[in-house]
Amino acid sequence: MQIGFIGTGVMGAAIAKNLMAAGYALTVYNRTKSKTDELVANGATWAETPAAVAAKSDVVFTMVGFPADVEQVYFGDNGIFSKLQPGKAVIDMTTSQPKLAVKIAEYATKNGFHALDAPVSGGDIGAKNATLTIMVGGETATYQAMQPLFKVIGHQVNHFGAAGTGQHAKMANQIMIAGTMTGLTEMLLYTKAAGLDPQKVLTTLSSGGADNWSMDNYVPRILKGDYTPGFFARHFLKDLRIALSEADAMGLDLVATAQAKRLYEVMVDVKGLGDQGTQGLINSYK
List, as one string, the DSSP characters of 229-266. Answer: -SSBHHHHHHHHHHHHHHHHHTT---HHHHHHHHHHHI
CA-to-CA separations, 286 to 264, 266, 272, in angstroms, rounded: 13, 11, 13
Q: Using CA atoms, how far apart are residues 257 and 84, in angstroms rounded to an integer? A: 39
Q: Which residues pair with 26 in a beta bridge?
A: 3
Alpha helix ranges (H) inside the chain: 10-21, 37-41, 50-56, 67-75, 98-110, 123-129, 140-145, 147-153, 165-193, 198-205, 213-223, 233-249, 255-265
Q: Which residues pair with 156 in a beta bridge?
A: 133
CA-to-CA separations, 35 to 8, 16, 57, 183, 232, in angstroms, rounded: 6, 12, 20, 33, 16
Q: Kindly give the interhelix angle for 165-193 and 255-265, rounded to the nearest 10 degrees.
A: 70
Q: Using CA atoms, how far apart are residues 179 and 177, in angstroms rounded to an integer? A: 5
Question: Is 170 a known active-site residue?
Answer: yes
Which one is catalytic: 17, 88, 128, 170? 170
The DSSP symbol for 85 reads P
Give the residue numbers annotated as catalytic, written as ranges.
170
